[in-house]
């Protein structure tokens, strides 16, 4: 009996990182910033395609980045165990890894929504999708299938990104929405602190109450401020490990703001589904930046 090839994926905010076993298939990927009018609502648009031999499926562990994602599958939709693959779906923000199984022709366009702009593009408060997935037609109606058809009509690459931008711009024009400045600035400050800012200090710095901040996050972020801090600290830890993969765990814990080494272990188990040593064993030497997905 053979086991599936494995891959881990995390977008750090600056770059897409893949960790693969030696026998995992390669593909073509790109992640780009959207056109200027969309940047208050959309963080990035991703395109990708790869062929995974159905006789040797690929299991991918997607680590949480705190975002809400729209996914348009133009090939064979990846499957999450216990669910039915969907052509278009919205993936809620979560504090746990997603395990997906790929086989066949995998071809996707993904949209990562920006804090402050999620509710406008979803049509519901972001927290209603927290740690859950929903068929996009439940939120967009027939426009979800129309969007998929429009992207299928153009080649993978810049033309497909442009088609996605047009779909999003039309959606925003229909609801006449503006991004929420408090949500966007709150997440920016959390990320700048690498998750080490206290919620009370964050609220005071923004001139709002803690209760109001929680309400803003419920609608426009999809996670609590504390959860966003956890993910920011985890991503900062991954960045440190990439720079210095042999640094002692006690020093990693101290440098990244964990209470102690036990706290670091618990957070890795929750956010990556792996003990820190297992994570380092899988990732060390296998960091791979995304490669361009060309026409």
Domain architecture of the chain: domains with CATH? 5-177 (2.60.120)
Chain centroid to Cα 51, Å, comes to 22
pLDDT tops 70 at residue 292? no
pLDDT reported for residue 1 = 44
pLDDT reported for residue 289 = 46
Average pLDDT over residues 82-92: 88
Share of the chain above pLDDT 90, in %: 72
Average pLDDT over residues 6-31: 78
pLDDT tops 90 at residue 80? no
**Residue 270 vs residue 11, higher pLDDT:** 270
| Nearest-angstrom CA–CA distance, 131 and 262 | 25
Confidence label for 28 from pLDDT (cuts 50, 70 and 90): confident
**Residue 39 vs residue 80, higher pLDDT:** 39
pLDDT reported for residue 18 = 81
Average pLDDT over residues 135-147: 95
- The count of residues in the chain is 295
The residue whose two tokens read 């390669």 is 26
Query: pLDDT tens digits for 266-276?
Result: 999 999 999 99
The three-state secondary structure class of 238 is helix
Phi/psi of residue 36, nearest 5 degrees: -50, -45
CB neighbour list of residue 14: distance below 8 Å, 6 or more residues apart: none
pLDDT reported for residue 24 = 63
Confidence label for 29 from pLDDT (cuts 50, 70 and 90): confident
The answer to whether the CB of 186 falls within 8 A of the CB of 115 is: yes
* Mean pLDDT, rounded, of the chain: 90
Closest CA to 156 of 87, 88, 74: 74
| Nearest-angstrom CA–CA distance, 136 and 225 | 26
CB neighbour list of residue 144: distance below 8 Å, 6 or more residues apart: 88, 135, 136, 137
DSSP letter string over 164-232? HHHHHHHHHHHHT----HHHHHHHHHHHHTTT-S-HHHHHHHHTS-HHHHHHHHHHHTSS-HHHHHHHH
Neighbouring CB atoms inside 10 A of 67's CB total: 26
**Out of 20-24, 50-54, 60-64, 74-78, least confident range:** 20-24
Going by the DSSP 8-state scheme, the letter that residue 38 receives in this structure is G
The answer to whether the CB of 232 falls within 8 A of the CB of 104 is: no
Neighbouring CB atoms inside 10 A of 20's CB total: 20
Helical segments of the chain, H only: 118-122, 137-140, 143-152, 158-175, 181-192, 199-206, 210-220, 225-243, 249-255, 261-272, 276-283
Specify the pTM: 0.90
| Nearest-angstrom CA–CA distance, 150 and 141 | 15
**Out of 6-15, 105-114, 163-172, least confident range:** 6-15
């Amino acid at each position: 009996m053979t086991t599936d090839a494995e891959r881990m994926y995390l977008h750090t905010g600056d770059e897409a990182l893949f960790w693969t076993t030696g026998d995992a298939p390669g593909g073509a990927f790109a992640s780009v910033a959207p056109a200027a009018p969309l940047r208050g609502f959309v963080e990035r648009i991703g395109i990708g395609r790869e062929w995974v031999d159905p006789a040797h499926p690929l299991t991918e562990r997607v680590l949480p980045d705190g975002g809400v994602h729209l996914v348009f599958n133009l090939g064979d939709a990846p499957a999450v165990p216990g669910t039915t693959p969907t052509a278009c779906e919205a993936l809620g923000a979560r504090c746990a890894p997603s395990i997906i199984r790929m086989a066949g022709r995998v071809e996707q366009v993904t949209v990562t929504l920006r804090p402050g702009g999620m509710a406008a593009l979803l049509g519901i408060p972001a927290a209603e999708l927290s740690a859950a997935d929903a068929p996009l037609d439940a939120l967009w109606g027939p426009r979800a299938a129309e969007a998929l058809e429009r992207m299928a009509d153009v080649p993978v690459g810049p033309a497909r990104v442009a088609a996605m931008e047009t779909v999003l711009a039309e959606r925003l024009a229909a609801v006449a929405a503006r991004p929420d400045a408090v949500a966007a600035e709150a997440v920016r400050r959390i990320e700048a602190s690498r998750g080490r800012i206290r919620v009370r200090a964050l609220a005071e710095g923004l001139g709002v109450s803690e209760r109001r901040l929680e309400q803003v996050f419920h609608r426009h972020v999809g996670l609590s401020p504390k959860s966003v801090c956890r993910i920011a600290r985890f991503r900062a830890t991954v960045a440190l490990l990439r720079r210095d993969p042999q640094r002692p765990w006690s020093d990693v814990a101290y440098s990244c703001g964990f209470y102690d080494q036990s706290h670091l272990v618990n957070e890795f188990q929750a956010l990556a589904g792996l003990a820190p040593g297992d994570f380092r064993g899988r990732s060390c030497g296998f960091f791979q930046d995304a490669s361009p997905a060309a026409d």
